[in-house]
Structure 1
Amino acid sequence: MGNVVRGAMLCAAGLLATSAAADAQERAVLGTTPEGTKVETITLHDGHGMQATISTLGAALHALDVPDRNGKPGDVVLGDATLKATLDNPQYFGVIVGRFANRLAKGRFTLDGHAYQVPLNDGPNSLHGGKQGLDKVVWDVVEAKPDRATLRHVSPDGDQGFPGKLTVTATYTLEGNGTLAIEYRATTDKPTVVNLSNHTYWNLAGEGSGSAMDQELTIHGDAYTPVDATLIPTGEITPVAGTVFDFRSPKPIGRDVRDAGKEPQLALGRGYDHNWVISKTRAAKPREVARVHDPKSGRVMSLVSDQPGLQFYSGNFLDGTTVGKSGHLYRQGDAFVLEPQLFPDTPNQASFGPAAARLDPGKTYVNRIVYRFTTDKDAAAGR
């Protein structure tokens, strides 16, 4: 009888421990893929009104609740209303993009004399790692704490045409004081090319609130890389001074988008879909690369990174066919994307320094992206 009681107590203790762990991790099941793989979410808290929800599909930032100037939290990232919608029509909402973020011309690159071909999924080019990039796989959860989660995926040698077995981790951390940090790390067992970034669609007025084009953007870049008709960089580095690409002082995102017909570069992508040159090479230490202020909510987002490039996309291809998390349709300009990374097509562009994209065995690729949220009320109070 004593063994039965002891067994029952151990069982009860195990159930309590499981429950406590679940409460600490706040994990839930979104659904399953057609292959039967479970897709989970993990919710993180900083204890001060900031809450992040991470999805294991694409290691994605699924939601981020941030207080406005009045202290009212609101979700500031776009996302599909259902998992089925994401699987049926993936649009990179909040996901990691790679193995090589952005575009590779004709899906080709050469490394150590060997030519490699990546699937074409953006006209004549490869975008964000090919048809089955890192955004379309379900990642393993290796750590989940109340304020931090780490996910991992192993991309086998030859995956989407890339050489080397690539082991990638994505760590999300709520660091307090309105700060979300995302850190991507990767290692390989043979030479390869790597460029990872985050593809969150932001609207600081709140997901489903309508256009983000009145939100004021600053980009700390003196130049940008013009593109050809397929959105591949021409190799030029052009000063932003005197052009619609000058965001060195804050201006509404949509100020010049409405007149895209007057600027051939904007007409190519229906708006902004270009790389800003923050520096010619990776910075010695992280620095602010962009800042966004929403006059409506008062939210301010500072983006900190050590990457040389920043891809800015003004939500040009949101076309009113996507139902968002709040049930609203997403239309053109309802969000913006800021992706710290290497310059697009770096492996094929001599002027960009192709070696920057190389990762060798024994080395670790790191891209740490930090988002710091405040409000204009904080700024007025000198905080």
Structure 2
Amino acid sequence: MNTKLIKTGKTVEGKEILAVELTNTKGTYVKIYNYGAIISEFVVTNKQGKKQDIVLGFDEFDQYVSEDYLAAYPYLGAVVGRYANRIKNGQFTLDGKAYQLAKNNGADCLHGGVSGFDKKVWEVLSTIDPSLTLRYVSPAGEENFPGTLTVDLTFKLTDEDELILDYKATTDEATIINLTHHGYFNLSPEGGSVKDHIHRMPASNYLKQDDNYVVDGTLIPVEGTIHDFLAPKPIGQDWDPQEGYDQTYVLDKEYGELTLASETSEPKSGLTLAVYTTEPIAHFYTGKYLDVKNGRNGSGYNAYEGFCIETQHHPNAVNIPTFPNTILRPGEVYSQTTIYKIEPTTIS
């Protein structure tokens, strides 16, 4: 097991950009930047015995902050917060006080606003083999959220090919919080559309969304719909090819229990990505809006060439009293664990 810290020689807003490489005894390798807590590379061994990167990303750090990339920004590999997904009209009320957030996605607030945790330089707290702990302190009023929020995020790579993400957060006054990781995965050795990946999710219900993908609190059974992944099937089997999936699923689980959120396999590589989480929700996104130039090895990333499993609390929950609580108060600790585990193909 090995952890290596690399100075990139780059800065953002005067803060040093560092890369941290985690490698296990199997040669599985993960590269993480302290900017946005971005997982830039996740290299595993496929069934042909070849090394394969299963996440979308860039060869050079500068590409993550380039004007072209930010103009059609897809949050490649980043942690998003202070509040993942969409908040209706960018508005919420907390302890009787109304807050107006940025409307950075139509009329709504998406992924924490204009400059969320995905665009921040995190402090490297420790690099103990084989793990990395990052910290970001979000000051009160940042993106108009109340309270100073301190977030610690630990990445740990095991010899079982598990990449474990452990989140902890505290605040000095009441605030709202909903964190997730926005990695795009593609398990094919050749890249391209993920429509033939085999996918399943233990989720009997999904959440109704408006035309801008904002949920209103209504649960809809997946049975008899294109959203039914209770049994394994190709991602593209039932989808609208002009839309793909951008849908929030309610996992069949006990609240807070660490269980399977999804399992996705690709026959050519023989790889399966299993995602486990303590969170109640998995937002499944197949990259309709992907439009990235000069990705890994100079290749572009187009629509439907990556999928995201965004584990989190219910979107817009701060405005829907029947949803699980996303309010954090002084003296409380927000915690979440999500695991990305690479396994031999088990579903077909």
Q: 1:312 aligns with which of 284, 292, 312?
A: 284
Q: CA deviation at 1:106?
A: 0.9
TM-score, normalised to structure 1's length? 0.85
Deviation, 1:258, is: 4.2
| 1:245 match | 227
Query: For residue 218 of structure 2, what is the aligned residue in structure 1?
Result: 236
Q: How does 1:109-128 map to 2 (within 5 A)?
A: 109-128=92-111
Q: Which structure carries more strand by proportion? A: 2
1:272 aligns with 2:245: yes
User: Does 2:51 correspond to 1:79?
Assistant: no
Distance in 1 of aligned mates of 2:254 and 2:4 = 40
Alignment pair present for 1:198 and 2:181: yes
Match of 2:295 in 1: 324
Counterpart residue number, 1:174 = 157
Alpha-carbon deviations, 1:57-76, whole Å to 9, x = none?
10111111111123322110
Contact 2:244 2:304 in 1 (8 A): no
Provide runs of 4+ in structure 1 moved above 4 Å: none
Give the aligned residue type for 2:185: W
Q: Does 1:165 align with 2:148?
A: yes
Root mean square deviation, CA, Å: 1.8
Other structure's SS at 2:158 match:
strand
TM-score, normalised with respect to structure 2: 0.94
Q: Quick check: 83-92 or 187-196, which moved more?
A: 83-92
The residue that corresponds to 1:40 in the other structure is: 18
Distance 1:313 1:147 in 2: 30
Identical columns (%)? 35
Q: Following the alignment from structure 1 to structure 2, what is the Cα–Cα distance between the partners of residues 362 and 73?
A: 45
1:210 shift after superposition: 1.6
Using the TM superposition, give the Cα deviation of residue 253 of structure 1 relative to its aligned residue in structure 2, in angstroms: 1.1
Task: Name the structure 2 match of 1:373.
Answer: 342
Q: How many residues align?
A: 342
Deviation of 1:31 (Å): 4.5
- Tell me the alpha carbon deviations over residues 32-67 of structure 1, each in whole angstroms, 9 at most, x when there is no partner: 245332211100011112111111110111111111
The answer to whether the Cα contact below 8 Å between 1:279 and 1:309 also exists between their aligned partners in 2 is no
Unaligned runs of 5+ in 1: 1-22, 261-269
Q: Which one-letter code corresponds to 2:207 in the other structure?
A: T
- 5+ residue gaps, structure 2, are none
Which of 34, 45, 59 does residue 67 from structure 1 map onto?
A: 45
Query: By how many angstroms is 1:254 displaced?
Result: 1.6
Given that 2:206 and 2:222 are in contact with CA atoms closer than 8 Å, whether structure 1 keeps it comes out as yes
What is the match of residue 132 of structure 1?
Answer: 115
Supply the AA of the counterpart residue of 2:307: F
Once the two structures are superposed, the pairs formed by residues 99-110 of structure 1 within 5 Å of their partners are 99-110=82-93
Q: Say whether residues 1:302 and 2:274 are aligned partners.
A: yes
Aligned residue in 1 for 2:315: 344
**SS of alignment partner, residue 70 of structure 1:** coil
Q: Secondary structure at the match of 2:39?
A: strand
Comparing 193-202 and 343-352, the one that deviates more: 343-352
Normalized per residue, the structure richer in helix is: 1
Distance 1:280 1:177, change over 3 A: closer
